[in-house]
Amino acid sequence: MAFAFSRKTMAGAVVLVTTVSMAIAGCANSDPESASSPSKSSASAAQSSLQPSKSSVAKPTVSSGASIPAGMPSGAVPSGTYGVGAAVTKPNCPEPPSNYSPFQAPGTVVKDIDGLEPGTNHGTAADKYAYPASVVNQWLQKPSTQPKNKKIVFVTFDDGPTTKFTGEQLDNLEKAGARATFFMIAPQIRDVNKNMLTRSLKMGNALAIHSYSHDYKYLYHGSAADKAKHISCDWDWAIAQNRAVLGSDYFSSAFRHPGGHMSWSNLSQSDAALAKRGVSWIDWNAMSGDADVQRPTTVPGYLEMVKKSIKESDNPNVVVILNHDTFGKQMTAEAMPSILSWLKSQGYEFGVIS
Ligand SMILES: [Zn+2]
């Protein structure tokens, strides 16, 4: 079932088992090569005691804020929105589990990193093609709302940043004249040179959030209220960590759940908690296959997986592709030039998720 990405992605029951297994397997923490990635033990916890729900895919919810007209690129959020522009302080909840040393909030306004447009997760170059996560999410959940007159692809990378693999993907994107959205595990941004983050922003990419802990047990254990409490707390720590490195004006409306929103049940309360913060979850409707336990074993296999998953999603005009830029994802880096080239040949414009 390695390549069985159903045409009813995110809507039909047929796809659920396969998609869920890919989603869970996709996070770098299950990767044997990712020995130094955070929360390594959490994946095994998820696979044993925290089995993802198969029913959660059937009825996804669209977070609030999806009323922005389709096709309208996003603007920056005003200063003051959820701390934008203010001092970076410690969140009002206990620090989520992390393999990193405890995050120390500076308690001051942090100068923005070079390349960041205030109130956004990208640089000004991306204004023309940056779309709020709520809009992209709605496009995925209700394909009838997608733009009719153009094809947009959102290439996404999870579980970074890492100096090696994020750097290689930036090279790939630069050569192709493409851009992507990087869903980062917040504390990992301490491990990379700020120049790489600036380079990414100046190239027109977006830097979004893929949690602080990446810990399935912490995020998804317990009641709906427990999940809401932990996921929102995790996001609070993630945005604080990102603002401490990227600058006080950093904000991203895009949150990708570790394992994928589609993999878990009873998230409506946590979705609402995120929506209160101006945040929407965003999954994917295509993938290179580096998420799969039985991932492609050749570089051409990754491109074939992209083609196949898009086709099986009924060739939508809006495609969000799941990839990873963390430890062990060498083949993703090697495959990306052919994937980007093929996407261009098919007439897709490259967007980013703000
Ligand atoms: Zn992940």
Which residues, at least 6 apart from 228, have a Cβ–Cβ distance to it below 8 Å?
269, 270, 272, 273
SS3 205: coil
SS3 for 344? Answer: helix
Residues 6+ apart with CB under 8 A from 9: 15, 19, 285, 309, 312, 313
CA dist 20 → 56, 57, 177 (Å): 10, 9, 32
Q: Residue 10, SS3?
A: coil
Centre of ligand 1 to C-alpha 48, Å, is 17
pLDDT of residue 1: 32
The lowest-confidence range among 55-69, 137-151, 153-167, 261-275 is 55-69
Q: Residue 236: which H helix or E strand, with range?
A: helix 224-246
The size of the chain, in residues, is: 354
For residue 158, how far is its CA from the centre of ligand 1 (angstroms)? 5
Residue 260 corresponds to which tokens in the numbers above? 């994928």
Check whether 20 has a pLDDT greater than 90. no
How many whole angstroms from 210 Cα to the centroid of ligand 1?
7
d(CA 34, CA 42): 13
> Among the listed ranges 10-14, 207-211, 246-250, 331-335, which one has the minimum average pLDDT value?
10-14
Q: Which pLDDT score, from 0 to 100, does residue 326 have?
A: 95
Model confidence band, residue 73 (pLDDT cutoffs 50, 70, 90): low
For the cut 70, the answer to whether the pLDDT of residue 49 exceeds it is no
- How far apart are alpha carbons 212 and 233 in whole angstroms? 9
- What is the CA(74)–ligand 1 centre distance, in A? 25
Determine the average pLDDT of the residues in 55-65: 33
Percent of the chain with pLDDT over 90: 75
Ligand 1 centroid–CA 209 distance in Å is 10
Tell me, in angstroms, the distance from the centre of ligand 1 to residue 282's CA: 13
Tokens of 46: 């998820």
Query: What pLDDT digit, counting tens, does each position of 153-182 carry?
Result: 999 999 999 999 999 999 999 999 999 999
- What angle, 0 to 180 degrees and rounded to 10, lies between the N-to-C axes of helices 224-246 and 268-276? 30
Q: Return all residues near 197 (Cβ < 8 A) that are at least 6 apart.
A: 113, 115, 161, 189, 207, 245, 246
Ligand 1 centroid–CA 212 distance in Å is 11
| Distance between Cα 125 and ligand 1 center (Å) | 27
What spacing in Å lies between the alpha carbon of 345 and ligand 1's midpoint?
A: 29
Rounded Cα distance, 97 and 42, in Å: 10
Q: Angle, to 10 degrees, between the axis of helix 163-176 and the axis of helix 330-345?
A: 20
Q: If you average pLDDT over every residue of the chain, what do you get? A: 84
CA 80, chain centre distance (Å):
24
d(CA 309, ligand 1 centre) in Å: 19
Answer whether residue 63 shows pLDDT above 70.
Answer: no
Give the CA distances from residue 278 to residues 27, 64, 133, 211, 251, in Å, rounded to whole numbers and listed in that order: 25, 8, 10, 15, 10
- Distance in Å, CA 149 to ligand 1 centroid: 33
Q: How confident is the model at residue 82 (pLDDT cuts 50, 70, 90)?
A: confident
89-121 pLDDT tens trace: 999 999 999 999 999 999 999 999 999 999 999
Closest CA to 212 of 244, 170, 181: 244
Q: Give Cβ neighbours of residue 79 (< 8 Å, ≥ 6 apart).
A: 85, 118, 119, 249
pLDDT greater than 80 at residue 314: yes
**Which pLDDT tens digit goes with each residue over 208-219?**
999 999 999 999
| CA pair distance 89, 246, nearest whole angstrom | 14
Question: What spacing in Å lies between the alpha carbon of 159 and ligand 1's midpoint?
Answer: 5
Q: How far apart are CA 240 and CA 251, in angstroms?
A: 10
| Selected residue with higher pLDDT from 26 and 47 | 26
Look up the pTM and report it. Answer: 0.84
Does the pLDDT of residue 145 top 70, yes or no? yes
Q: What's residue 293's pLDDT?
A: 81
